[in-house]
Amino acid sequence: MQAIISLPKEAKALLVRLNMRKGELFCLSDLNYTEIRALETATTLLSEAKLIEIDPHVSFDEATNKLNKDFLWAYCQTRLTNAPKKNTRKAELVVLLKQLTQSDRLQRFSDWGDNRTWLKLTDRSFFKRIQLMFFGNLHQDWSEFIITELGLIHYEAISYSATLRAFKSREDITNYLQLDSVLDQLELTSTESTLTLDDSLLSTNPSRWLEAKRKNVCFRAAQTLEKRGQFTQAMKAYKSIGSNEANIRLLRIMEKQCHPKNTIALAEDLLNVTVHGETRTLIYRILKRQYKKVGGATLSLPSIIHITEKEITFSNAPQSVEKAVATFLTETNSPVYYIENRLIPALWGLLYWEAIYAPIKGAFFHPFQAAPADLYSQDFLAVRKHYVDSLESSLNEDTYKQVILENYHAKHGLRCPFVYWPVLSVEMIEQALDSISKEQIKGIFKYLEQDLRQHKKGLPDLIQFNLVTNTTAFIEVKAPNDRLQIQQQLWLEQLIKLGFDCCVAKVRWLS
């Protein structure tokens, strides 16, 4: 780090540019940046600081990956008795060369006869560590600075302090990188190989932030194990996670691998503690199949709420069926918006904006965050109870409309995972707040909060406000052969329970 800080500006600029490119190997002649005038001098300085290596030793695979087909074909002409034809594919040339050379020997590009200058970053892992320390993840990179500087994206201003940092020590960062390396190992391991998960991946991490990462990695590892038929290991991994999705995957493996009574016992236990709508529906389906296997047992299914269907016919298939239905149903005092999953989550996001961007430990790392890092964790609302309680009081005191509208104006244009600004207007929001009662708002928000990630989706395509009666209707648009998905069915059922007029518009066309 000290070596980097002491570099002249152009050398730093080149180092940043190299880090923003893919891979570790670069040809100097391919590097052309207007802000770096003395490119060769910058290269020399980076080499002297041991941040890059000039004309490095590389593996056979690294070399053949970088050298193009024409170069490899010309190389074959000078070394093979039966030289390949010009139209030979690069992959075939690589196979021929692998037979000719010692593919396990490291060579320089100059040994291949390439006289161009090649560079290699000497310690990519160091920059990966710095990237993690700054961003708190490994999917964002330094281009965030450029995009924000250009004014293409605007983020909420977040306050930072040392006490709120998710990482407290070098060990925390190393543990995160080790967890991430598991995913790399899964990709590199051949499909025929037997995978073994380290016990540390199956054990709960005391750090809330690292525990979230562990569960994410563990779930992806469990999926890989399941695909490879290592069901015992996969079941252990899913059990160590305990999320709704992991529990369903566990039950589905048990359906195939275990006695039905064991599957039924776990499914019934999970049903007693699960409130998540989609998960309960899937557990019911699993139980129904397992009861059928053991015979005699019956399952009391939840009552199904009838959803009205309305058939609409158009002379020709419109480009956008949803927009066509919205136009067809719109009346003077009853506008219809094709808004799908945009409005309801936006109302929630605008009301709870202060809670979403509250200064919570491990939630914010840097200025380029559209959302807190723990947004979809199970305890997201619990750790923000103070802020949530304060904002929920506005629902009881009838000041929630004012909060939503004030945040619409004050935060307009800032990135937020619940608010898609281009489709929202003051008129639409005001119509929604006038037409949806306070109790209905509470009910909608409660269901949304059950699963902030999944329940942002599945809302009906169209929403209609009756400006005379101040009521709201929801319409899901379906082609004749299309049917409701679980999320859509459950959202419609929730809306009907809350007193909304809901229907499914079945569309067909004459030609």
Give strand pairing partners of 502: 474
Per-residue confidence (pLDDT) for residue 335, from 0 to 100? 95
SS3 82: coil
Distance from C-alpha of 416 to C-alpha of 433, rounded to nearest angstrom: 20
Q: How confident is the model at residue 254 (pLDDT cuts 50, 70, 90)?
A: very high
What is the helix (H) or strand (E) element at residue 505, kind and residue range? strand 501-509
pLDDT value, residue 347: 97
**Dist CA 69 CA 87 (whole Å):** 10
Q: How confident is the model at residue 7 (pLDDT cuts 50, 70, 90)?
A: very high
Task: Please write the tens of the pLDDT for every residue from 165-181.
Answer: 888 889 999 999 999 99
Using the predicted structure, report yes or no on whether residue 104 has a pLDDT greater than 70: no
Helix (H) or strand (E) holding 121: strand 118-121
Tokens 């136009």 correspond to 327
Structure confidence at residue 190 (pLDDT): 67
Give the pLDDT score at 290. Answer: 92
pLDDT digits (tens, 9 = 90+) for 291-306: 988 886 677 767 778 8
Residue 102 confidence class, pLDDT cut points 50, 70, 90? low
Q: Is 337 helix (H, G, I), strand (E, B) or coil?
A: strand
Q: What is the pLDDT of residues 412-439, one digit of tens each?
A: 999 999 999 999 999 999 999 999 999 9
Q: Which fold has domain 129-294?
A: 1.25.40
* Domain locations in the chain as residue ranges: 2-123, 129-294, 308-509
| pLDDT of res. 246 | 96
Distances (CA, A) of 220 to 204, 224, 238: 16, 6, 10
Q: Among the ranges 84-88, 103-107, 284-288, which has the highest mean pLDDT value?
A: 284-288
Instruction: Convert the pLDDT of each residue in 156-167 to its tens digit.
Output: 998 777 888 888
Mean of pLDDT values over 138-151: 90
Q: Supply the pLDDT for residue 77.
A: 85
pLDDT band at residue 103 using 50, 70 and 90 as cut-offs: low
DSSP one-letter code for 29: G
* Cα–Cα separations (whole angstroms), residue 488 to 249, 275, 278, 477: 21, 17, 10, 11
pLDDT above 90: residue 82 = no
Query: Per-residue confidence at 38, pLDDT binned at 50, 70, 90?
Result: very high
Sign of the dihedral defined by the CA atoms of residues 256, 259, 264, 265, in that order:
negative
Of 108, 120, 112, the closest CA to residue 43 belongs to: 120
For the chain, what is the mean pLDDT?
Answer: 91
Beta carbons of 136 and 166 less than 8 angstroms apart = yes
Contact assessment for residue 400 and residue 394, using Cβ atoms and an 8 Å cutoff: yes
Question: What is d(CA 270, CA 282) in angstroms, rounded to the nearest whole number?
Answer: 11
**What is the C-alpha separation between 412 and 416, in angstroms, rounded?**
10
Residues 371, 494: contact at Cβ < 8 Å? no
Distance between first and last Cα of the chain: 68
Pair 121, 51: CB distance under 8 Å: yes
What is the rounded CA–CA span in Å between residue 201 and residue 495? Answer: 41
Tell me the per-residue pLDDT of 371-397, one tens digit each, with 9 for 90 and over.
999 999 989 999 999 999 999 899 888
User: Percent of the chain scored above 90 by pLDDT?
Assistant: 65
Tens digits of residue pLDDT in 48-81: 999 999 999 998 888 889 999 999 898 888 877 7
Give the pairing type, strands 118-121 and 471-478. Answer: unpaired
